[in-house]
Amino acid sequence: MALTKKQVLQVETVLRNSLRQKFQNYNPEPAVMPFHTRLLGQDRMALFSFIHSLNTNFGTSIFEPVAKALAIENFKSAESQQVAGDQISTEAQRVIQNIMDNLSVASSSPDKLSEIKTIRKVCQSGEMKTVKPTKVDVKLVGHDDTIYLFDIKTAKPNAGGFKEFKRTLLEWVAIVLAKNPKAKVETIIAIPYNPYEPEPYNRWTMRGMLDLENELKVATEFWDFIGGKGAYFNLLEIFEKIGIELRPEIDEYFSKYTKLK
């Protein structure tokens, strides 16, 4: 088993706390859907609304703390919702724009190692600008001091959004290097599960913008990188276990909606 007993207990605690907190704080949207409610029932509509609400913040309330709980055993440090920094050089901004322009017209292919090398050369050149970059969902520091910055996305991100995802990853690199030009940094899009299983994840929509080998980790790739080989399947077992354990609480919560007229 990839996960230690400590990791398992931490993940279980995250799941229990996240669901119970959601039940305590959840207020259904006051949307009246008379046809749906009469056809499907108030309890099913309440459950549908709850799941939709949970999905919108699943990354922040569950995936991020779970990733942190797994990583703390295997990395020097693990933090969520971090700021990469607040300074970027004008020359780095120029280089990033050139990279984006070339990728947009397909005059070059994404090559993250080459892109980092180019940004590193100008990371402190020109004027230093104060910026407010997108927050890092999960920041890990390896025992070799490599900095890993993860942007966790939904399982089916909008294909049109990958241009902005790419820019964010490049800007994080420039911001980290502005502070320390010698830093080892990797910026990665993480997708927690593959909605196409058992088929491979559909990566073609990202191929022209992301370096798939160095900028993308999906499902097993992501969780096993953080928690060790086998972590992904261990996590599925833990989620199932906690779901069964909390089922009476879940049923009790939604039972009140069956009594509504």
| Per-residue model confidence as pLDDT tens digits over 11-58 | 999 999 988 888 887 776 666 778 888 888 877 787 778 777 777 778
Q: Does the structure show a pLDDT above 80 at 196?
A: yes
Both 104 and 18 in one domain: the answer is: no
C-alpha 228 chain-centroid distance: 18
Tell whether 70 and 82 lie within a shared domain. Answer: no
- Collapsing DSSP to helix, strand or coil, 67 comes out as helix
Assign residue 140 the CATH number of its domain. Answer: 3.40.1560
The reported pLDDT for the residue numbered 152 is: 95
- A 10 A CB-CB count for 118 gives 18
Domain-located, residue 22? yes
- Tell me, yes or no, whether 22 and 115 share the same domain: no
Cα separation, 68 vs 75, whole angstroms: 10
In this prediction, residue 261 carries a pLDDT of 45
pTM of the model: 0.90
Per-residue pLDDT band at 135 (split at 50, 70, 90)? very high
Q: Is the domain of 28 the same as that of 155? A: no
- Mark whether 110 and 89 lie in a shared domain: yes
Check if the beta carbon of residue 124 is closer than 8 Å to that of residue 178: yes
In a shared domain, residues 155 and 137: yes
- Residue 88 near residue 129, CB atoms below 8 Å: yes
Shared domain for 85 and 70, answered yes or no, is no
User: Structural domain of residue 28, as residue ranges?
Assistant: 1-74+243-261
Contact 85, 133 (CB under 8 A): yes
Question: What pLDDT was estimated at residue 41?
Answer: 80
pLDDT exceeds 80 at position 138:
yes
The answer to whether residues 172 and 257 belong to one domain is no
Q: Considering the domain boundaries, does residue 46 fall inside one?
A: yes
Q: Which of 224, 245, 242, 243 is nearest to 233 (CA)?
A: 224
Q: Which has more pLDDT, 65 or 42? A: 65
Instruction: Based on the fold, state whether residues 12 and 63 are members of the same structural domain.
Output: yes
Residue 255 sits in the same domain as residue 200: no
Average pLDDT score over residue span 141-154: 96
Residue 257 binned pLDDT confidence (cut-offs 50, 70, 90): low
Q: How many domains does the chain have?
A: 2
Half-sphere exposure of 240 (CA within 13 A, CB side): 6
